[in-house]
Amino acid sequence: MEFLIHFLVLLPLFMAAVIIHEVSHGWVALSLGDPTARLSGRLTLNPLKHIDPVGTVFLPLFLLLLNAPFVFGWAKPVPVNALLLRHPKRDMLWVGLSGPAANFLLAAFTAALLRLGAGFIPPLGAGLGKALVLINLVLGTFNLLPIPPLDGSRVLTGLLPVSLAKGVLALERWGIALVFLLLYFGVMQRIVWPVVLSLARWLGVG
């Protein structure tokens, strides 16, 4: 029963974080000339438009069952057509950065509210706020890893020469398998989680 309550409390926070992440990709792509996300009906905060069975439900549930110190995953990717962007190679870098940037901004905004409301926010509200900060920091940090299909690979390919960028993008077909391989080799515990804790302390919620 306690686990179920924990899951039901954290799931909406997690879904809010991944939805804002994906919608940010779509809005930046639109501002740079690609209306694909808008035409696909994905520039919305409606959770039903963004749920991915594995990334939005199964993986967070699995991590909670393992009593992992973090919860992360993904929503259904917002479609982006690089060919419609005004400067495809450069603009994909900004599209890639926009999702993690949105998560970091949401984490910073929530942390600021917690500091301003210290002494007034009830313990439950403070706990939920801290959870929202950590979830967003995890999502932002993990997605910046320069490995397809994560957003960091978009940033990397925007910086690399075309010949090398094509080699990075060729790895994307392995997508989900690469993500779970990262988990198996402990990238969360060894890289992402230490960065998240440092950022959380810097924001005053560590």
Q: What is residue 203's predicted lDDT score, i.e. its pLDDT?
A: 95
Residue given tokens 């988990």 in the structure block: 183
Instruction: Calculate mean pLDDT across residues 82-104.
Output: 94
Exactly one of 10, 17, 22, 60 is catalytic; name it. 22
SS3 content of the chain, % helix, strand, coil (to 5): 75, 0, 25
Q: Find the range with the poorest average confidence among 18-22, 23-27, 115-119, 163-167.
A: 163-167
Q: Letter for the amino acid at 112? A: A
Cα–Cα distance, 206 to 197 (Å, whole number):
6
Whether the Cβ atoms of residue 169 and residue 111 lie closer than 8 Å to each other:
no
State the DSSP code for 144: T
Cα–Cα distance, 100 to 194 (Å, whole number):
17
Q: What is residue 4's predicted lDDT score, i.e. its pLDDT?
A: 57
Using pLDDT thresholds of 50, 70 and 90, give the confidence band for residue 38.
very high
Most confident of 45-54, 147-156, 191-200: 191-200
Cis peptide before 77 (omega within 30 of 0): no
Q: What is residue 63's predicted lDDT score, i.e. its pLDDT?
A: 75
Whether the Cβ atoms of residue 148 and residue 126 lie closer than 8 Å to each other:
no
Please give the torsion angle defined by the CA atoms of residues 191, 62, 200 and 129, in that order, rounded to the nearest 10 degrees: 170
Whether the Cβ atoms of residue 125 and residue 131 lie closer than 8 Å to each other:
no
Kindly state the tokens that stand for 158: 């925007």
Q: What is residue 31's predicted lDDT score, i.e. its pLDDT?
A: 96
Q: What is residue 19's predicted lDDT score, i.e. its pLDDT?
A: 93
Q: Letter for the amino acid at 155? A: V
Give Cβ neighbours of residue 108 (< 8 Å, ≥ 6 apart): 203
In angstroms, the Cα distances linking 56 to 17, 74, 109, 118, 203 are 11, 6, 23, 31, 26
Q: Is 22 a catalytic residue?
A: yes
Of all residues in the chain, the percent with pLDDT exceeding 70 is: 92
Cα–Cα distance, 20 to 100 (Å, whole number):
10
What is the reported pTM? 0.89
Residue-wise pLDDT for 164-174, tens only, equals: 777 777 777 77
